[in-house]
Structure 1
Amino acid sequence: MNTAGVRLRGMTVLLVIVHAGLAAAWVGGMAYSLFVVQPKLKKFFGADEEGREALTAVIASGNRYKVLGLIAAIALTGIALLLLDHDHWWIHLVKAVLLLTATTIFWYVSWRHWPRRVFATAAERPALQRQLYLLAGTMLTLTATAFALGITAGHL
């Protein structure tokens, strides 16, 4: 392999590491919230639903733009990988569809679900909490699948 080929391969490997690391951060953050933080909040606050909702809102506050930045970085590195890896374009396309779907759910949760939840009555809240678990689980499944496909593409 010539010097240019070695440089391109090194750049591709670095890009794969960055792309996979960003995806792992998104998957890991969602999994930690869903399986660690939320159950511990429920256990800690017990019957104090108002307290739990207040702390949940504080924890979530200000995170949407950080997550959008993370998603944008994943998308940009994914596009760059697609340009460098024409052989596995279909894997990148499937990943893009999965991540776009997860991003759409994230948009819905951030700009529609949370405002409803913040202003919900005590009677409305349980249904919204169940809906959030379903949406978060779906996002986690989509992003984890895209992550696994990305790792697979790197080994083909």
Structure 2
Amino acid sequence: MILEAAYLLPAAVWTGSMTYSLAVVQPRSARFFRDDDQLEEFLTVLAHGNRWRVLAMAGVLIASATAIIVACPWAGARVVYGIALALDVAATAVFVHVSWRHWPARVFALPEERPDFRRRLKTSARAIWLLVGAGFVLTLVASVGRG
């Protein structure tokens, strides 16, 4: 089904990008930059401009899951995509909080406040990864399992 592909592709991209960020980018950038100001500048430049891309991806996930719930004749798919929809809405809410509350505060944080901001960002990133990843795996298994 085209709607399933429309859901699974951005779910895979978001899950994969969060995995790469948590497993590679964040740990390596912290080891590479010895100077805290340079690390903050690098992370800010890296994050710049991604807000709208992520929101667009979240919008596609939410719209395609909703369309599947409405259009699919298989009740099991409606349940699975309903759960995935709830997970994606929760992940989007966490992202919105990070994007509009956390980052603006972090930009103006004092150097001694930065470690706490990084810890909270990592917690939020893990939450997004778990929520989107769970929705992706759940819907992928359901789609493959149906044949």
Q: TM-score, normalised by structure 2?
A: 0.92
| Backbone CA RMSD of aligned residues | 1.2
Question: What displacement does 1:37 show?
Answer: 0.8
Structure 1 equivalent of residue 69 of structure 2: 82
Q: Is the 8 A contact 2:106 2:117 kept in 1?
A: yes
Q: 1:57 aligns with which of 27, 40, 44?
A: 44
Amino acid at match of 1:44: F
Q: Are 1:151 and 2:140 counterparts? A: yes
Percent identity over the alignment is 35
Which runs of structure 2 are paired with 1:107-146 in the superposition (5 Å)? 107-146=96-135
* CA distances 1:31-76 after superposition (whole Å, capped 9, x unpaired): 1111111111111102x11100001000101110111011111112
| Equivalent residues, number | 143
Which is further off, 51-60 or 17-26? 17-26
Give the superposition deviation at 1:18: 2.6
Which of 35, 41, 55 is matched with 2:23 structurally? 35
Question: What code does the residue aligned with 1:79 have?
Answer: T
Give 5+ residue unaligned stretches, structure 1: 1-11
Larger Rg: 1
Whole-Å separation in 2 of the counterparts to 1:152 and 1:34: 24
Partner of residue 9, structure 1: none
Aligned pair partner of 2:58 in 71, 81, 85:
71
Q: What's the secondary structure of 2:111's corresponding residue?
A: coil
> Which ranges of structure 2 fall in alignment gaps of 5 or more residues?
none
Match of 2:10 among 16, 22, 31: 22
- Counterpart of 1:102 in 2: which secondary structure? helix
